[in-house]
Amino acid sequence: MILNNEEVIAWLDSLEKDSKALQREIMQLCWYMRGSVSYSEAMEMSPSERETIVKLIKDNLETAKKSGMPFF
């Protein structure tokens, strides 16, 4: 596949956006895990593993909201 300059720039911008989104997700996961998962450990997780942990965090947050128990 051959891309012109504009397409290459758009592709690189897309990669940068994806990279920043992944970094934010990883940092958020580490914050919620209160240091039990390091940044480097989280970066080594598969997308499926990160997705599972994020779902668990969201479920626990929702449970805390419903029960009135502190989450943070």
Asked if 65 contacts 52 with a C-beta cutoff of 8 angstroms, the reply is no
Residue ranges per structural domain of the chain: 5-67
Angle at which helix 5-32 crosses helix 47-67, to 10 degrees, equals 50
Residue 51 scores a pLDDT above 70: yes
Q: How far apart are alpha carbons 59 and 61 in whole angstroms? A: 5
Q: What is the mean pLDDT of the chain?
A: 91
pTM exceeds 0.85, yes or no = no
What angle is formed at CA 23 by the lines to CA 17 and CA 28, rounded to 5 degrees? 125
Q: How far apart are alpha carbons 24 and 48 in whole angstroms? A: 16
| The two three-digit tokens of residue 9, written as one number | 């720039």
